[in-house]
Amino acid sequence: MKTFRHLLCLCLLLFPLAGKAQWQPVQEQEDNNTPEHAQLISNMSRVTGELGKTLGQERDAYDYYKIVLEDDGKVELAWSLPATQAHYWIELFEAKDGLGNLRGGKHIKSEETQSAVTHTFSCDGLAKGTYYVRLYMQQKFGGYTLDYKHVPPSLTNDPEPNDKPETAVKLNSGKQVSGRLGYRYHDYTDKYDHYKIVLEDDGKVELAWSLTATQAHYWIELYEDKDGLGSQRGSKHISAEETKNAAIHTFSCDGLAKGTYYVRLYMQQNFGGYTLDYKHVPSTFKNDAESNDKPEKAVLLNSGKQVSGRLGYSYHGYTDQHDYYKVVLEDDGKVEFAWSLPATQAHYWIELFEAKDGLGSQRGSKHISA
């Protein structure tokens, strides 16, 4: 029993450590002084190496390491240097037939290496791809350790590519999606994300865009679908001042007739993640029997009955401005109408015409002001 109790205590002490990420020790492999011979290192690698020694007839001034990002994110590097009083540089390049675009770097001056110290360098906004880390020592020689860590964004990416209307991702009402903007690789920056919504009925589109703290300019725009982007139905600009802190920004557009629309998200600079909530709010009134926008298509009204309808919803350059109803009087008399309208601040007219090959003589009308 005593032995069992000791074993149980040991298990309880060791178990919390099992889930923690551990640095993986890696030894530098020469010759790694050109991009073509860069040594591949994985996430959470701790590399031990040397710079400055003479190898054959050349001085080992450079060490190259290759990293492959399977996802967007940030690269964090910690470079522990000995006391050498030498100048050092650490640089991060994209891989493109050797060294591509420089994404960032840090110069460590000789006075900063008078004693052994660890220097940190990080680069964010990196899209998935292959990169090179270049270490350079201008003079003298010494050993080092290099810690490499990849930090992916906290939010899941949207299905790429969706940077054009043709590849837009469909949104469903009541659902939330997450995505990213601004991550860059090989001169391509993911500035646009497109989403497609299909309205089966007239109504309003409500969008809530939750943004990370980026201090960037954003735009959210709503377009009709017409061989790509058609007429713009609304937009909202979110300034850099408004994105100093993470916040939720709302945008809505009403008066939309049923049809297909695109939501376009645009980020002018920097990078970050987002969530987007979409909701379709249909009209509270049941629609009239469309199309009844001409006398020939008028809907028959029966005395003592109520009908409901809608006006003003638009799509593809057409606005439903007129609704026609037909009344047939079997006897002389008076016609009475009660027109219940929502709060719209719009001008309305109700008019009564005789039927004569379409509209005949007007028998009366009423204007309801905004």
CATH T-level topology, domain 165-282: Jelly Rolls (2.60.120)
pLDDT tens per residue, range 90-104: 999 999 999 999 999
Question: Residues 207-225: what's their mean pLDDT?
Answer: 96
Question: Residues 163-181: what's their mean pLDDT?
Answer: 97
Question: Residues 240-248: what's their mean pLDDT?
Answer: 95
pTM: 0.87
Over 60: is that where the pLDDT of 317 sits?
yes
**166-202 as b/e: b if 16+ CB within 10 A:** eebeebebeeebebbbbbbbeeebbbbbbbbbebeeb
pLDDT tens per residue, range 109-159: 999 999 999 999 999 999 999 999 999 998 889 999 999 999 999 999 999
Over 90: is that where the pLDDT of 72 sits?
yes
Work out whether strand 203-211 and strand 247-256 pair parallel, antiparallel, or are unpaired: antiparallel
Q: What secondary structure letter does DSSP report for 165?
A: G
Question: Residues 181-195: what's their mean pLDDT?
Answer: 97
Name the percent of the chain lying above pLDDT 70.
95
What residues does each domain of the chain span? Answer: 23-151, 165-282, 295-368
195 membership: H or E segment, kind and range: strand 192-199
Residue 301 CA to residue 328 CA, distance in Å, equals 8
Residue 341 CA to residue 23 CA, distance in Å, equals 69
Question: Residues 45-73: what's their mean pLDDT?
Answer: 94
Over 70: is that where the pLDDT of 17 sits?
no
Over 70: is that where the pLDDT of 2 sits?
no
- Dig out the tokens for 330 from the structure: 């079997």
- Distance (Å) of CA 276 to CA 139, 159, 248, 254, 368: 52, 14, 9, 18, 39
> What integer best gives the mean pLDDT of the chain?
93
Q: Could you tell me the pLDDT band of residue 20, with boundaries at 50, 70 and 90?
A: low
| Burial class of 12 by CB neighbour count within 10 A (0 to 12, 13 to 18, 19+) | exposed
Name the percent of the chain lying above pLDDT 90.
88
Over 60: is that where the pLDDT of 178 sits?
yes
Question: Residues 298-315: what's their mean pLDDT?
Answer: 96
For domain 23-151, give its CATH number from 1.10.620.20, 2.60.120.380, 3.55.40.20, 3.30.565.10. 2.60.120.380
Do 95 and 104 meet the contact criterion of CB atoms below 8 Å apart?
Answer: no
Domains 23-151 and 165-282 agree in fold: yes
Quick one: pLDDT at residue 345?
86
Q: Could you tell me the pLDDT band of residue 12, with boundaries at 50, 70 and 90?
A: very low
